Structure 1
């Protein structure tokens, strides 16, 4: 995830600007989400499950008070509701050695869902800036590194020691894939990943940093046709700055949001090159507050995928 100074792409936005007391009235899991966590934890009583999730939420909020923690987004299912999800599972079954990275994974709810639905556990990885979130994930799902052995690689995607700048791959890297459990950075995975999931990630940065991030993430993708990156983040019908008014404050925060058209152009022209990738992106309007202490007229989420041709 992003650093506290980069949240919403504004360098001087302090963590206290988005932090507010937790409110369990925001707890809302649908039947599928409740059943998934019940199956993972073995907690059958709905009230005990709610108590467990609320307790874990408090720990996650101490790691960093992202709005998705406040809204219990860490306990919800997202990845399995994207159009590209079935293709992730298909590649896991049909492409030998297909590797899947859940980037900015937070507590790991998405990678756990993919593994539960059949993606090979020994071919999945997760990464986040904050290792504390991965520890919280084990508490949430009542697992251990032995019972859920997906390697977690902490680090900052903008740190060149963690992810060395590289052009997008045009051929498969030489040599075998290093043992996933031995990795301490993402650099050895450049050009080797079949699928990358990255949600609620890109919109944390300004326009220029989003481009830099796309180039870095894009370099990890295998050149094999059908390899793809997918996810969701805040968007707008027309790309540009979105003003967010902090409640109880005169401050206005600006978040850069791509439109589906500008997002396609970013990947097709600036990251991979025209004719090298197929990008699909669409907006959905969602109800509710964007950030707990911010007001906004309309909120859009862009769901997208970029597939190598």
Structure 2
């Protein structure tokens, strides 16, 4: 998600500080801080630093690629209304180089053509395909095939038959609130597909955010920052760790975000896991 949060973010409130005895013992063991008040001050200071992190610190790099790399393509996976693509376009990314994709451009519950998320996006922003020709590809990302010959020139984005026609041609891939819709096997397969679509040029980037947790929760589709990196550079990942930098960091959920995003959680803490995969 670009330069915005899914829901308004509340100001930090030190009065809400709470730590269990076991958590305090662990932190004291690691930090060497034995005084409770000093430990509280340390935690709140680090919390404020984490809270100040941007939604995705890779966003400026995305905009720079759009301005400095010829024909840099931005692919927005699971685009919904297309609001993230519109944010990038408003901030200077060339409209003609943006491609949105989702399962359906528009359909009702009977799968009849009608207004759907992407088409309603035009209604929301009061644009029209004629005056704001944001390219859209309707299809299932898992149907991507890579048997097409490597194109000599970039195909017209509004006339694609399959995303595989863009193999190795996409400079930026954005996938927010998307990966955790699938189980681990699906997420690993998705990473492989996106890895093949990404341009081999240094600076090319895949970025996004989703619900995360401090430790991998094997009964769910939720990863920790460390286990998320394994998706990309582990034994089954699409990249050798020598050719990419993978960053993943948490941003706290407030109570409203927790309820809106995941509902009550019986198996531990949740946060927004913001991440990027950058070609060196």
What TM-score does the superposition give when structure 2 sets the normalisation length?
0.71
Higher strand fraction (1 or 2): 1
**Partner SS for 1:230:** strand
Equivalent residue in structure 2 for 1:275, among 230, 242, 245: 242
Counterpart residue number, 2:231:
266
Residue 185 of structure 1 aligns with which residue? 162
1:182-212 deviation digits (Å, cap 9, x = unpaired): 1132111111000010000001111111101
Identify which of 120, 129, 132 aligns with 1:145.
129
1:51-96 CA distance string (max 9 Å, x none): xxxxxxxxxxxxxxxxxxxxxxxxxxxxx84101101110000011
Structure 1 unpaired stretches of 5+: 1-26, 31-79, 167-171, 242-253
Identify if the C-alpha distance between structure 1 residues 277 and 122 changes in structure 2 by more than 3 Å, giving closer, same or farther.
Answer: same
Task: Kindly indicate whether the alpha-carbon contact (under 8 Å) linking 2:146 and 2:165 is maintained by their aligned counterparts in 1.
Answer: no
TM superposition outliers: structure 1 runs of 4+ over 6 Å: 27-30
Deviation at 1:157, TM superposition (A): 1.0
Quick one: structure 1 residues 223 and 141, their matched pair in 2 at CA, closer, same or farther if it must change by over 3 Å? Answer: same
Instruction: Report whether the alignment pairs 1:212 with 2:189.
Output: yes
Superposed, which structure 2 residues align to 1:20-39 within 5 Å? Answer: none
Distance 2:262 2:55 in 1: 27
Question: Equivalences for 1:149-168 in 2 at 5 Å?
Answer: 149-159=133-143, 163-164=144-145
Contact preservation (8 Å) 2:245, 2:278: yes
Once the two structures are TM-superposed, the CA of residue 180 in structure 1 deviates from its matched residue by: 1.4
Give the counterpart of 1:305 among 271, 276, 280: 276
User: What number of residue pairs does the alignment pair up?
Assistant: 214
- State how far apart, in whole Å, the 1-side matches of 2:146 and 2:157 are: 20
Which of 262, 284, 288 is the aligned partner of 2:251? 284
| Gap change, CA 1:28 and 1:99, over 3 Å in 2 | closer
TM-score by length of 1: 0.65
> Greater CA radius of gyration, 1 or 2?
2
Relative to structure 2, which stretch is displaced further, 129-138 or 80-89?
80-89
Whole-Å Cα distance in 2 between the matches of residues 231 and 186 of structure 1?
19
Distance 2:57 2:221 in 1: 25
Find the aligned partners of 2:7 and 2:251 in 1 and give their Cα distance: 20
Q: 1:207, 1:221 → 2: CA distance?
A: 21
Superposed CA RMSD in Å reads: 2.2
2:264 to 295, 301, 306: 295
- What does residue 29 of structure 2 align with? none
Distance 1:290 1:185 in 2: 37
Q: 1:98 aligns with which of 53, 63, 72?
A: 72
Contact 1:165 1:216 in 2 (8 A): no
Counterpart position of 1:12: none
